[in-house]
Each structure stands twice: as structure tokens, then as C-alpha cells.
Chains A and B, each alone.
Chain A
Amino acid sequence: AQRVTQPEKLLSVFKGAPVELKCNYSYSGSPELFWYVQYSRQRLQLLLRHISRESIKGFTADLNKGETSFHLKKPFAQEEDSAMYYCALNTNAGKSTFGDGTTLTVKP
């Protein structure tokens, strides 16, 4: 069975500081990994997915199969980045597993 672990429930940084949200997974097959974000009073939405290898709103995430990790990083956090972040894993069979989420607060 697959599993996604986000070790930090809460993360607080100052504006302009680097931020890293951790995500570790366990899955015997080849995973598809995603980061979703939920801003206050908005729907849960995609931030980025590993297959696209793109940077969205300054965030990047690299899949490290050796360490089974997919950490989300941003070099300079902004106040508007404050939100709830979820790491998710999809299998080829269509099943989706989410981590428990990390609440990021960026202080001015």
C-alpha cells in the first residue's frame, strides 16, 4: 500500500526567507507526485506535479527516488504563500493518496 508523509504540520518563516516543505512517500511502483495548495476560503488546487518539471509561483519540487522524497522549495517566501499544502501520490491503478498537509505561515 502507498503512503505519503508530511512530517511538519505547521511551518512558519519570515518573508524573504527560504522555505522547504517536506514530503516522503512509500510505494513499490512508479509514483506520480503532486503538490496541491489550499489558500484561505478557496478550493484545493494543483500547485505543481513532478512530471511537468516546472516552477509555479517560484516553487519547485524534485522527485528523489533514492530518498523517496518530493520536497517543495521556494528560495524567497512571500506573505501570499501562506496556505495549506498537500503532497499527493497517484498510482497507475488510479488510486490517490494524500499526506496530512502542512500549514505554511509567512510572517511579514
Chain B
Amino acid sequence: DGGITQSPKYLFRKEGQNVTLSCEQNLNHDAMYWYRQDPGQGLRLIYYSQIVNDFQKGDIAEGYSVSREKKESFPLTVTSAQKNPTAFYLCASTSGFSTDTQYFGPGTRLTVL
């Protein structure tokens, strides 16, 4: 199951702290995505990036930030401004065409204590 990795698998944070989730891919994909998955709500798009040094807000970007300095890496920072950060976070990548499949990482479960 190589290709796209996320770390850590579980993450705990105190309220008021920022935390960064890692996403790395070795598929040579141009596009990368971050989703939030809550029970009964499916996947909601946080941010996406179609090329290095460029990214766009998704549907629920408030309280999150990203960077795309390298093609293979797309870290997500959950800031203290995010009102309800406890969730399961999924990263995905694709070659960049709208017809192409997204490949998903194993996810990170973030819990705010």
C-alpha cells in the first residue's frame, strides 16, 4: 500500500495549539487534496493543490492552512481557529486531470483534548 503516506496515524492536541498533519506521495502526481471525514457526513474538501506553489480553498477551509513547496508533499496545519478539529483527515493525490482516479492515504485521526 505504498504510494501515498500520512503521519501520524493518531494525533492528540490540546485546545489552542496548532498541529501539522503530514502527507507524502511518491506517485509523481501533480495534484493533492485534503479531506475531512466525519461520521455520516462523507468527505468534505479542505484544500487542494494542482501544482507546486499553488493551492485553492475547498468547501471548509476556515481554520486550516496548507503549503505545497514540493511536488511530493502537502502538509495540512489545523490551527487553533478551527472550531471543531476532532475528525479523521484523508489526503489524496492524482495526476491532475479531472478524469483521473484519486489515490488515498490511510488517514490521520486527530483528537483535541
Please give the residue numbers on chain A whose beta carbons come within 8 Å of chain B beta carbons, in ascending order: 6, 9, 32, 34, 36, 43-46, 49, 51, 86, 88, 90-92, 94-101
Given contacts A43-B1, A43-B105, A95-B56, contact A51 B45 (CB under 8 A): no
Decide: A44 near B50, CB < 8 A? Known: A9-B40, A100-B42.
Answer: no
Interface residues on B, range: 20 to 34
A46 engages B98 (CB within 8 Å): no
Cβ B98 vs Cβ A44 within 8 A: no
With an 8 A cutoff between CB atoms, is B104 at the interface? Answer: yes
Q: Which residues of A contact B43 (CB under 8 A)?
A: 44, 86, 98
Contact B104 A90 (CB under 8 A): no
Chain B neighbourhood of A99, CB < 8 A: 42
Binding site for A on B (CB under 8 A): 1, 31, 33, 35, 40-45, 48, 50, 56, 58-59, 90, 92, 96, 98-99, 101-102, 104-107
- Chain B residues lying within 8 Å of A9, measured Cβ to Cβ, are 40
The interface residues of chain B lying within 8 Å CB-to-CB of A43 are 1, 104-107
Roughly how many angstroms separate A94 CA and B106 CA in the complex, as a whole number? 22
Tally of contacts, chain A with chain B, CB under 8 A? 55
- Give Cα A49–Cα B99 distance, bound, in whole angstroms: 8
Question: Do the beta carbons of A97 and B48 come within 8 Å of each other?
Answer: no
| Residues in A whose Cβ lies below 8 Å from that of B105 | 43
**B75 vs chain A, min Cβ distance (A):** 19
B99 and A32 contacting across the interface, CB-CB below 8 Å: yes
Contacts A44-B90, A95-B58, A96-B33; A90 near B99 (Cβ below 8 A) = yes
| Among B58, B92, B101: residue with most chain A CB under 10 A | B101
Of chain B, the residue at the smallest CB distance from A99 is B42
A34 closest partner in B (C-beta) = B101
